[in-house]
Amino acid sequence: MTGSFVEVADGVHVLNEPVLDVNVTLVVGDGAALLVDTLSTAGQAAELAAAARAVTTAGWTVVNTHRHFDHCFGNAVLAAAPPRPVYAHERVTTALREHPDRLRREAYDEVSADWPALAPGLADTVLLAPTHSVRVETVLDVGGRRVLLRHPGPGHTDGDLVVHVPDAAVLVAGDLVEESGPPAFEDAYPLRWPDAVADLLRLCTAATVVIPGHGRPVGVEFVRSQHRQLTELAGLIREGYRDGVAPERLAVDAPFGPEAALTAIRRGYAELDATGG
């Protein structure tokens, strides 16, 4: 079961889906709402819709923080009938529109070993591409509430969006910030991720509640700490590449643990190869 929404700030509610520990955020305004991320399967999305309806009867706009299956594969259930606006970074729009079969296959391969109950639902999920693309930033009016959608640069993916609700001091960070485990680097830009987090930190005050992609809501100091670790890792990657250190050796004492760090280092080395260091 998907669960229910919990209010974390004035008119801002978070639902945590327990299988993958994914967060969905619901922002409620005067006669309008915003739903940030849509989970993994049609079944999860249907439960998510029911949970949102328990909070508000208002029509909602959808935002996808990035293109990974656990954040956007529920789009069709939540935004196709009736049609609702769906916002995402332009690269997410392109991926969902032009490569749905590849995205489904990648998702199926990822979950089939560790979360086999999700796999059948992923295999035949109808993917709905966003209707509105964001390049750098867009401001929405959600029932009288100003909400900023911003792309802080490549980080967890090449198409991350953060969602800032300034009147509630809430920032929805997607997978640019992780609480329940180390950051995921499989599609990441580890040399540029620190800059992306620095950009989102500029939107924060000391009182800001940050909703990570996975895990419990956190405060700004948690994000600053993760930013320091990401910065340290990026520095190690540059130094290791310069000195010819094998990724496996460099990962041993790197931030976030050897497994996550090894993926990041290999990604970083490949980027430095491509750009000539």
What pLDDT was estimated at residue 182?
97
Contact indicator for 96, 127 with CB cutoff of 8 Å = yes
Give DSSP secondary structure letters for 36-57.
E---SSHHHHHHHHHHHHTT--
What pLDDT was estimated at residue 1?
62
Tokens of 60: 């909602």
- 241 CB-near residues (< 8 Å, 6+ apart): 268, 269, 272, 277
Task: Tell me the C-alpha distance between 181 and 47, whole Å.
Answer: 25
What pLDDT was estimated at residue 2?
74
What pLDDT was estimated at residue 3?
85
pLDDT of 18 > 90? The answer is: yes
Percent of all residues in the chain with a pLDDT value above 70, rounded to a whole number: 100
Question: Tens of pLDDT along 49-73?
Answer: 999 999 999 999 999 999 999 999 9
Nearest by Cα to 269 from 253, 156, 108, 244: 244
Nearest by Cα to 160 from 232, 88, 87, 78: 88
SS3 at position 232:
helix
Q: Output the CA–CA distances (angstroms, integers) from residue 234 to 32, 165, 183, 244, in the order listed.
A: 41, 30, 13, 15
pLDDT of 222 > 80? The answer is: yes
Residues facing residue 164 across a β-bridge: 148, 171
- 132 CB-near residues (< 8 Å, 6+ apart): 85, 86, 87, 88, 138
| Range 6-220 classified under CATH 3.40.50.300 | no
What pLDDT was estimated at residue 123?
84
What pLDDT was estimated at residue 65?
98
Residues in the chain: 277
Q: What residue ranges do the domains of the chain occupy?
A: 6-220
pLDDT of 79 > 90? The answer is: yes
pLDDT band, residue 241 (cuts 50/70/90): very high
Amino acid at 104: R
Higher pLDDT among residues 157 and 3, named by residue: 157
- 214 CB-near residues (< 8 Å, 6+ apart): 20, 21, 22, 23, 175, 178, 179, 180, 181
Percent of all residues in the chain with a pLDDT value above 90, rounded to a whole number: 93
Angle at 51 between CA 45 and CA 52, to 5 degrees: 90
Question: Tens of pLDDT along 99-147?
Answer: 999 999 999 999 998 899 899 988 889 999 999 999 999 999 999 999 9
Question: Tens of pLDDT along 158-214?
Answer: 999 999 999 999 999 999 999 999 999 999 999 999 999 999 999 999 999 999 999
Section 19-42 average pLDDT: 97
What pLDDT was estimated at residue 148?
98
